Structure 1
């Protein structure tokens, strides 16, 4: 916009005078009032010995929180603009009430809380009435020397004026600081900072220049905004509109500004005044104001200190270190050179985390004892979480122990991490204890916590406990995921618990999950484990009836169900029927057949199936090696049996208790008693205890062998 247009309408001197008045109002350098005078004790006509009363409110208010909603009459139109205005009003009144309460406590040290609340209620309501009439800000500008109203004494009105100006001053300063933040990140300021960095300006000088450029940019913007405002006022004067309001604004030196700019918010009609329904004597308000003033001490977020010279060399040495190096001397030297604050430590740890995770863990644990870090419980929690994600349970527990020793009790966030960590590690006891602690702290578990605990129960072969948690989720209207349903269904199936499996399937249907090939296949497996091939075949036929084609895993479950009752003819008939429909057996089906034929000592037929498995080109499962070892041991093929046994010993960590017992029984049946005793030792070293039947069998075999000797 050209200045020529404005100059033609007004003289330059008049423009300058207006700008100065507007800038004075915008910057808001009002003088903060002196402490409350002793005459404040005569603030009312009723004296200090009685509760403060208002002629309009003859009965004293018993509690401010009870009467705080008396001004919550809302306009018929509830727009976003009104909500913004109410937010500004609440901000002003919250600050005003906090300061007035302090002054009342000083002036009336002998009054109880009820009396102070009553006085405060009357004062606030009177101020709100003035604001509703639109005359309160005008009163602040003009009427400080006027005679007191019939409600309050002169001293009380003077205190109200002083506190109001103090609050407005704080709001204006805060608004300017917020405005300054935006200009600090303006593109032009960033460009000048980049240029300054290229020519060698660093550190404190660059920071000072950045603030200087941002302030100049803000002042330039405000100047042009003021010119635009003057132009609009001139247009209004020419048309004869709002002439009285413009003149009055010039005389008062007060311009209506958005509440965000720091002037007293204006509101037509009744004010929606509330402070979140809380008693204003609550210590929370002290904390709120403290946070406001703490936030006002900085204009922009804190930045790490610039690192240069010897400190830069030490930093590079830290970043290039190895996990095995002793980091204590380097960190001590770095602390001495930089005198770091928390933001500096965070910056260093972030760099380590990007470059070397293991070194990050080591340094992060070392700096927990640094005073400059100002260690809090979140530092311990984040480190425990990082170790848990790396499946490093021992280190996570060590940090947890260190946290307790330093006086930090696990909070809800930390305990949630422990639930996930122990569940993932398969430590049901730890997960269950953490889960109970979480609930005792009043936390209502969410979907992720429930999922972790249910998986922990499933992995521990306790699906009934997992099912009870699932019912708890449903009672809280938290819908379990399909993965949770399937995990519970699979767990019941592996245990042969048909009733449990059917309950889960019915629950899935009620939850909106229709039966699928996967869920039906698990039911076939459940009936097979329970030794009921007829019901397994019924579910298998249902799969075909609804249009699904049984896959290799489903067919293997059906063959395994027939194996339980040794119904080989029915199994072969089923396979022939499926092959006519285009089914080709896979590794899972062949594995079940090899195990079955091996138990029947049909070695040559089983070896033919092994050749077909080799033709498929897939890696044979561990269960197949167990079946092969058992088959060759029973058939007394020593060389092949020992070869298969060597493969299994190499994978001993993957073997289950049932696998160990199958191997040992097969070795004993084939006369390989010494190998059976050796495998028993391997089993016990893995933490398994032999079943009572196997122990009796081993003892009997040992006595028999001694008798022959």
Structure 2
């Protein structure tokens, strides 16, 4: 069965053939007098004869020159067969015919585009005629088993019927079609593995631990690729096993020639990649027309291509030659250098797409972080980078982790200027950034913007905002956010949030607030531990309620938790608040019987307490105990010693301790300054008291009225001479 015998005469009225490469203003057109009798159009004057006679077509103004433009192959990969008019014979439909039909459909679609591109003045009938001649020649080569001659670049010699340029184009399109078919088969296999249960299970697990977005998509593709490679590996082993069995059977002669032939054919029916089958007999197909240029199919193909890009990510272009040298220069830049000139040269040489930019940024991030930030900011304004809001968010987060507030705000301003509004991820990053640097107002602004845009804050956003309130000394506002996240969004607070609020309430001596948080932790299923009990004891101690603190202390011991040095120090401080020295000593003796050994924290509280009581010898004895433990005493113990020596009038030791405090003036707060001034006034060191008062005001601390009155009173009385000890 020959191609021209199955072509409908009503479909194509003539056969056009492109002549050899020529500089003439128009190509040659031929007529096959034995097959078609009607002319292509009135402007053609056809001669008669048994062969092909050249005629000139005045409508075609361009020669068939070398093709140097290619359309994107994926526009014809999936849906071109829907528009194709090439059909298989329903009675003799086989897998080989289906593969051949798909090859011809793709081949015709691409060749139509190339002919239409270079013959813009030719009508559809002329293009159809050209296509029919080309397809007839390709099919004839297939029927003779000569498709390898078309597809082998080393032996792609011109045909007697086709020009060298046209024959080269047929060879290039055939290779392109086969590559597309291989990619399509691989895509279909990949889609199956992407939907496999094992990959879905891994994706669900990744989502549960917080991996989402582009990273999850890349991991999903990676896992599917590994599964596909594993499947192909076992399939190759199975094919090798079958080939070995066939070889053994052939060597032993246990099978006849027919069975051996069937096994060989079966082996050929399972190729590793898509290829045209070896033909045995005529190709069974029908051509009802060649109109594959409908605009609706192009739109559908575009959508398929866009969807395919998500599932099948692109690979970066290979970097070589001058572009490689420019890339190496870019990597060798210092932190103070400007990468803009090299980036412009790199972009001109490589003509990068988004995947090339991302590859460059990933490599820079590993080698030079500071340079990565500069290049990433420049890439945001590049059109080929295809910037989206996640790019801005990632760069803002990178600056926020390094506490580069100004850089992060500059990127945020640029994002707003380019029309990108902050989304939930950006707003969450801003809340965390401002909370980290202690800017409560900006953190509240970002948090309110997050809610005003209709986004539901997640646990990370709430945690950052609550920590901002805690660091600002406003735990009650943080507690209100805990109530909001529980009641409105059903978000369960973490243990970190509870402990931060409990610690803040404890530092401020807010017993009611600390008690509420402790009850919330108990209802949330969080058992009281040593840390939470220590904070509660400290809160009751600062509130002046040692009895309640002792109750918690004893309950903790009964529950099997042995108090540590910090917990015991908190209990001793609670007794010191009410000056209950006898109860504190009884507790110390009881704990020592149970094997407890006091540490630096406990001794520090006792030294401060004894110093206030002017028990100097006992306080110095405890200092020796701290030195014997080999640990450095905390800085605040110097304030206790100074206050003790100053009030006792021991000038040498008092001024020595004062010198230590002045050396670390940045660690002193308002309360510490006032205690130092009180000690100086009480000890008669009036000049030093006024000097410390000036230093306190210079550092921005507000002096209380009590201290001001004490300083004014000290000027009215003659300072007594301190004693020397």
TM-based fold match above 0.5: yes
What residue in structure 1 maps to residue 505 of structure 2? Answer: 492
What residue in structure 2 maps to residue 370 of structure 1? Answer: 382
Cα–Cα, structure 1 residues 365 and 633, in superposed 2: closer, same or farther, change >3 Å? Answer: farther
Cα–Cα, structure 1 residues 487 and 29, in superposed 2: closer, same or farther, change >3 Å? Answer: same
Rg larger in 1 or in 2? 2
1:323 and 1:362 in contact (8 A); partners too: no
CA distance, structure 2, for counterparts of residue 675 and residue 321 of structure 1:
55
Whether 1:610 and 2:623 are equivalent positions in the alignment is yes
Of stretches 687-696 and 455-464 in structure 1, the one that deviates more from structure 2 is: 687-696
Q: Secondary structure at the match of 1:369?
A: coil
- Describe the superposition over 1:307-363 as per-residue Cα deviations: whole angstroms up to 9, x where unpaired: 223332222222122112233333333334333333232222222211122222233
Whether 1:571 and 2:616 are equivalent positions in the alignment is no
Tell me by how many angstroms 1:669 deviates: 3.3
Aligned with residue 22 of structure 1, among 98, 108, 113: 98
1:174 and 1:296 in contact (8 A); partners too: no
Whether 1:456 and 2:468 are equivalent positions in the alignment is yes
CA distance, structure 2, for counterparts of residue 299 and residue 536 of structure 1:
62
Tell me by how many angstroms 1:562 deviates: 1.2
Cα–Cα, structure 1 residues 496 and 384, in superposed 2: closer, same or farther, change >3 Å? Answer: same
Of stretches 629-638 and 521-530 in structure 1, the one that deviates more from structure 2 is: 629-638
1:432 and 1:453 in contact (8 A); partners too: yes
Q: Secondary structure at the match of 1:548?
A: coil
Aligned with residue 179 of structure 1, among 163, 167, 185: 185
Whether 1:483 and 2:496 are equivalent positions in the alignment is yes
Aligned with residue 468 of structure 1, among 466, 473, 480: 480
Give the unaligned 5+ runs of structure 1. 1-15, 33-171, 186-213, 235-249, 254-285
Q: What does 1:544-563 align with in structure 2 at a 5 Å threshold?
A: 544-563=557-576
Whether 1:427 and 2:439 are equivalent positions in the alignment is yes
- Describe the superposition over 1:228-247 as per-residue Cα deviations: whole angstroms up to 9, x where unpaired: 99979x9xxxxxxxxxxxxx
What residue in structure 2 maps to residue 414 of structure 1? Answer: 426
Q: What does 1:494-509 align with in structure 2 at a 5 Å threshold?
A: 494-509=507-522
Tell me by how many angstroms 1:691 deviates: 3.6
Of stretches 614-623 and 329-338 in structure 1, the one that deviates more from structure 2 is: 329-338
What residue in structure 1 maps to residue 408 of structure 2? Answer: 396
Q: Secondary structure at the match of 1:490?
A: helix
CA distance, structure 1, for counterparts of residue 486 and residue 407 of structure 2:
36
What residue in structure 2 maps to residue 385 of structure 1? Answer: 397
Q: Secondary structure at the match of 1:29?
A: helix
2:428 and 2:460 in contact (8 A); partners too: no
Quick one: higher RCO (CA 8 Å, sep 6+), 1 or 2? 1
Whether 1:657 and 2:670 are equivalent positions in the alignment is yes
2:101 and 2:285 in contact (8 A); partners too: no
Aligned with residue 582 of structure 1, among 592, 595, 612: 595
What residue in structure 1 maps to residue 373 of structure 2? Answer: 361
Cα–Cα, structure 1 residues 664 and 370, in superposed 2: closer, same or farther, change >3 Å? Answer: farther
What residue in structure 1 maps to residue 338 of structure 2? Answer: 326
Q: Per residue, is there more helix in 1 or in 2?
A: 1
Q: What does 1:676-691 align with in structure 2 at a 5 Å threshold?
A: 676-680=689-693, 683=696, 687-691=700-704
CA distance, structure 1, for counterparts of residue 458 and residue 599 of structure 2:
41
Whether 1:518 and 2:531 are equivalent positions in the alignment is yes
Tell me by how many angstroms 1:397 deviates: 2.2
- Describe the superposition over 1:466-515 as per-residue Cα deviations: whole angstroms up to 9, x where unpaired: 11121223223322222222221221122111111111112222222222
Q: Secondary structure at the match of 2:595?
A: coil
CA distance, structure 2, for counterparts of residue 17 and residue 494 of structure 1:
84
Tell me by how many angstroms 1:385 deviates: 0.3
CA distance, structure 2, for counterparts of residue 413 and residue 311 of structure 1:
36
What residue in structure 2 maps to residue 629 of structure 1? Answer: 642
Tell me by how many angstroms 1:378 deviates: 2.3
2:443 and 2:468 in contact (8 A); partners too: yes
CA distance, structure 2, for counterparts of residue 498 and residue 180 of structure 1:
67
CA distance, structure 2, for counterparts of residue 557 and residue 295 of structure 1:
64
Q: What does 1:157-236 align with in structure 2 at a 5 Å threshold?
A: 177-181=183-187
Cα–Cα, structure 1 residues 327 and 633, in superposed 2: closer, same or farther, change >3 Å? Answer: farther
Cα–Cα, structure 1 residues 672 and 297, in superposed 2: closer, same or farther, change >3 Å? Answer: same
2:97 and 2:284 in contact (8 A); partners too: no
- Describe the superposition over 1:178-211 as per-residue Cα deviations: whole angstroms up to 9, x where unpaired: 43348999xxxxxxxxxxxxxxxxxxxxxxxxxx
Q: Secondary structure at the match of 1:547?
A: coil
2:424 and 2:457 in contact (8 A); partners too: no
2:397 and 2:408 in contact (8 A); partners too: yes
Cα-Cα RMSD: 4.1
CA distance, structure 2, for counterparts of residue 682 and residue 408 of structure 1:
49
Aligned with residue 345 of structure 1, among 352, 357, 364: 357
CA distance, structure 2, for counterparts of residue 486 and residue 610 of structure 1:
33
CA distance, structure 2, for counterparts of residue 351 and residue 699 of structure 1:
68
Give the unaligned 5+ runs of structure 2. 1-91, 110-177, 192-228, 243-261, 270-282, 287-297, 720-725
1:533 and 1:561 in contact (8 A); partners too: yes
1:493 and 1:522 in contact (8 A); partners too: yes
1:27 and 1:173 in contact (8 A); partners too: no
CA distance, structure 2, for counterparts of residue 306 and residue 325 of structure 1:
26
CA distance, structure 1, for counterparts of residue 300 and residue 670 of structure 2:
61
Aligned with residue 312 of structure 1, among 324, 327, 339: 324
Tell me by how many angstroms 1:287 deviates: 11
TM-score after normalising by structure 1:
0.59
User: How many residue pairs align between the two structures?
Assistant: 470
